[in-house]
Structure 1
Amino acid sequence: MQHVRNGNGESGIPALDVVGVSHSYGKKRALNEVTFSIRPATFAVLLGLNGAGKTTLFSLISHLYDTRHGAIRIFGHEISRTPGEALRRLGIVFQARTLDLDLSVYQNLSYHASLHGLGSKEARSRIDAVLETVEMSGRLHDKARSLSGGQMRRVEIARALLHRPPLLLLDEATVGLDVQSRAGILANIRGLVQKEGISAFWATHLIDEVDCDDHVVVLVEGNVAANAGVKDVMRSTGTKSIAEAFSKLNQKATATASEELP
């Protein structure tokens, strides 16, 4: 297999550093003083119920929204001050499908490569490499609309890897997929973390997508309720599974909110 990236060269700096980030929609606060960091070469999960603030946080990290309260740094580059340097180190897979269905897999990836200033020869080399990485080499000239949901997602992951970012951001990447497709994509991303030394920040509301060796950031109603290895979260909550810990953290937040009501 051709490697997409051999390490990131910035191992002494957090892959992602989020410090005191808050965000509101009018009077409704979506994120409240969110703080955590992710080490390089780590598979980290952003776990939260729908509406917990995951997509808002990802929109801030990817610079779709401006960061007005707090700071977000990608390998030391603050997104609000040096967005070009920060985003160059970031590959993004959005929740919504974003392939052009009328173009082939190659055309979709080639267009993205041109946005990153890659020449045709270099682009083809990288396209071949990333498609091999996500096990989609045989579909190079197929129209995107002919692919299954899982295959489309793999192509989107390949596209996110084209410019060789050391950090991948994936927002509910398995939404709408069957169990087998979900497991395959998760295994693929975890394999990239282990073999290529990249970092992955995986947002999900599905407990079964969290592995016991993952780092997990639990987001509850816009607040960080836990930020540690899965085993440490279980230990601190006195639970025997991450599902039980997640439930307990959400119940605690609901109880606290109820107590604060007048």
Structure 2
Amino acid sequence: MSGAAPALEVAGVGHRFGARAALADVSMRVERGRFAALLGPNGAGKTTLFSVITRLYDNRQGRVAIFGHPLDREPSRALARLGVVFQARTLDTDLTVEQNLLYHANLHGIARGAARVRIAELLDRVGLSDRRGDKVRTLSGGQSRRIEIARSLVHRPELLLLDEPTVGLDLESRADIVAIVRALVRDEGLSVLWATHIFEEIDPADDAVVLHRGQVVASGRAGDLARPGETLADAFRRLVADPGRAAA
């Protein structure tokens, strides 16, 4: 849509933990209907940035807007369009799959009848309709992750943040999670910010931002970050080893 605000805009964001700067003048954006990768090693500031975007951390430096709604002035309108899958597992393992999803729907004020219909749609999309009545503790790690993705979509957000969603999963489960999210982008026009350090999950055509020591050291199409003869992993190692040469 010409002239429309991006799904996510982060401008000049900084965040400190005491004397330590966890984020310093971070600026980036996620365009509507795009799969964007936030690449960075452990400790780069990816989770801190997600915490600022989701307002878990009250940030006073810089600006965050979701579909043009400033997070500081219109938090309800901004966050209503946002879904999140955090790195830490957050499902209640003593409840069934459906109970977990119904609880989330209730938090968003969705009537129970409508919630059940939406849950059925989402469980079908993530391939777990047959586990609806099972307790979460009986699921594998990959299945639990798929349920968390379904839960994040119950209220029909237009932007989805995923913080290291495949960490600790086997190759098949990782591939399943990536495929589900990419299908949402392709089929439903969902905008996605995918934080990872696993380069195999990123396609050359994806938008990418490289975060290192709380600073953006490179951004652009993932395939353009690499020099001739380099893989994305090679480019990443170069960028985080010598951020000053990111544009070289």
TM-score range, shorter chain: over 0.9
1:145 counterpart residue number: 137
TM-score (ref. length: structure 1): 0.90
Deviation at 1:253, TM superposition (A): 2.9
Matched, 1:121 2:113: yes
Matched, 1:244 2:234: yes
Partners of 2:106 and 2:147 in 1: how far apart?
16
Alignment of 1:32-181 (within 5 A): 32-181=24-173
Greater than 4 Å deviation, 4+ residue runs: none
CA contact (8 A) 2:204 2:224 kept: no
Tell me the matched-pair count. Answer: 246
CA contact (8 A) 2:239 2:245 kept: no
RMSD: 1.7
- What amino acid is the match of 2:156? R
CA contact (8 A) 1:166 1:199 kept: yes
Matched, 1:188 2:209: no
Show structure 2 runs of 5+ residues with no match: none
Partners of 2:33 and 2:75 in 1: how far apart?
22
1:226 counterpart residue number: 218
| Secondary structure, counterpart of 1:177 in structure 2 | coil
CA contact (8 A) 2:203 2:223 kept: no
Deviation at 1:240, TM superposition (A): 2.4
Deviation at 1:10, TM superposition (A): 9.7
TM-score (ref. length: structure 2): 0.95
Cα displacement string for residues 196-236 of structure 1 (whole angstroms, at most 9, x for unaligned residues): 0011100111122211121111001111011110122125x
CA contact (8 A) 2:39 2:195 kept: yes
Partners of 2:40 and 2:67 in 1: how far apart?
24
2:12 counterpart residue number: 20
- What amino acid is the match of 2:57? Y
2:243 counterpart residue number: 253
- What amino acid is the match of 2:132? L
- What amino acid is the match of 1:12? A
Deviation at 1:241, TM superposition (A): 1.5
Partners of 1:10 and 1:156 in 2: how far apart?
33
- What amino acid is the match of 2:70? E
Show structure 1 runs of 5+ residues with no match: 1-8, 257-262
CA contact (8 A) 1:10 1:75 kept: no
Question: In percent, how many aligned pairs have the same letter?
Answer: 53
CA contact (8 A) 2:30 2:192 kept: no
